[in-house]
Structure 1
Amino acid sequence: MNELTIPIHDKIYTLRGKQIMLDEDLAELYQIETRILNQAVKRNIERFPEDFMFQLTEEEYGNLKSQFVISSLEKHGGRRKLPFVFTENGVYMLSAVLKSQVAIDVSIEIMRTFTKLREFTLHYNALGKKIIELERKNDKQFKKVFDILDTLMNDTQRTDEKVMGFIKDA
């Protein structure tokens, strides 16, 4: 498959504690209209329980729109209905419903992106825990370092008046 021109990671958001993708972003990636994607889902609704797909509330939709600053959510003059969003499992299920080669290829790339995001999150969380642990164990030493840095900063401000060992003319 050719490289996707749309970066997938930019289309994944966190909502209700889950990573989700908007129906219109998925439709764009799958190179179909949003209404066709939603029709395919409605014809196979038994494959999409609430933890695979759900419709945004007006408040959630408003919050997303404000994050995007008039983004893709309004690029076609707005929507008549609130968008549907798909979790990772829902995106995977879409590949079974949308049977084109593009849908298969895009779904594979989306799954890889979700996996990379999960791995990044694990490493990020592990790093955060290590930093907190270091701070707890070495709190006194960190305080000494910060005190020394403060002293150096204060000394630097005082020596700004000196140029090569001479006091500047006032």
Structure 2
Amino acid sequence: MTDLVPLESITGRILLLRGAKVMLDRDLAELYGVETKVLKRQVRRNLERFPEDFMFELSTDELENWRCQFGTSNSDKMGLRYPPMAFTEQGVAMLSSVLNSKRAIQVNIQIMRAFTKLRQMLATHDDLRRKIEDMEAKYDEQFRVVFEALRQLLEGDEPGRRFGFVGGGRKSYGIEQLIL
């Protein structure tokens, strides 16, 4: 089966709000091929399925901060009657039970895969960060000479210790002297 929505399109819509990875109602509505008001209506009719750890509405401060960070068109700023709903991964999964369409089910499967992929990428990123920190601790003394040489290069021009372009009479693009 071909994907209805590219994975990158989904992961690009996952935001971090209140310490949770969420998707906004308007993005989900677009992916599901329904109007935002239809999605919101179905959620409001089934609020018992959406506890706060599944879905929450953005506060006024969050909404202003979100607009500043991501920018929205004038029509978005003018047309919001209700604050946007933010759905966690569990809330997105629950949406397929209130939006009864084949497209909603298929898109939900893709969104769940995107959340899983994102979780795997973050775990890999943490592993890499830990490995680098371990290497820094282990090899700190051995690389001190390298860091010291870089610091000296960045501190300024001392006579006889220049590198890069050398002016004066003829053009030279070589290194005069490199500190190691």
TM range (shorter): 0.7 to 0.9
Tell me the equivalent position of 1:66. Answer: 68
Aligned to 2:29: 27
Q: Aligned pair count?
A: 165
Query: What is the TM-score with the length of structure 2 in the denominator?
Result: 0.81
Q: Tell me, which stretches of 5 or more residues in structure 2 are unaligned?
A: none
Aligned to 2:43: 41
Q: Deviations over 1:92-111 (max 9, x none)?
A: 00011111011011101100
Q: Which is helix-richer, 1 or 2?
A: 1
Amino acid at match of 2:92: V
Residues 148 and 104 (structure 1), Cα distance of their counterparts in 2 relative to 1, 3 Å cut: same
Indicate how the Cα distance of structure 1 residues 7 and 158 shifts in structure 2: closer, same or farther if over 3 A, else same: closer
Structure 2 CA distance for aligned equivalents of residues 164 and 85 of structure 1: 56
Q: Which residue of 2 aligns with 1:157?
A: 163
CA shift, 1:70, in A, is: 2.1
Shift of 1:68: 0.9
**TM-score if structure 1 supplies the norm length?**
0.85
- Indicate the RMSD between aligned Cα atoms, in angstroms: 2.6
Specify every segment of 5 or more residues in structure 1 that has no aligned partner in the other structure, as ranges: none
Q: Distance in 2 between matches of 1:57 and 1:146?
A: 47
> Cα–Cα, structure 1 residues 76 and 103, in superposed 2: closer, same or farther, change >3 Å?
farther
Alpha-carbon distance between aligned partners in 1 of 2:21 and 2:164, rounded to the nearest angstrom: 51
Query: What is the distance in 2 between the residues matched to 1:112 and 1:12?
Result: 12
Please say which of residues 129-138 and 73-82 is displaced more in the overlay: 73-82
Deviation string for 1:51-95 (max 9, x for gaps)? 000111001111111111225x95474301111110000000001
Equivalent position of 2:94 in the other structure = 93
1:147 corresponding residue in structure 2: 148
**Is the CA contact (8 Å cut-off) linking 2:25 and 2:39 kept in structure 1?**
yes
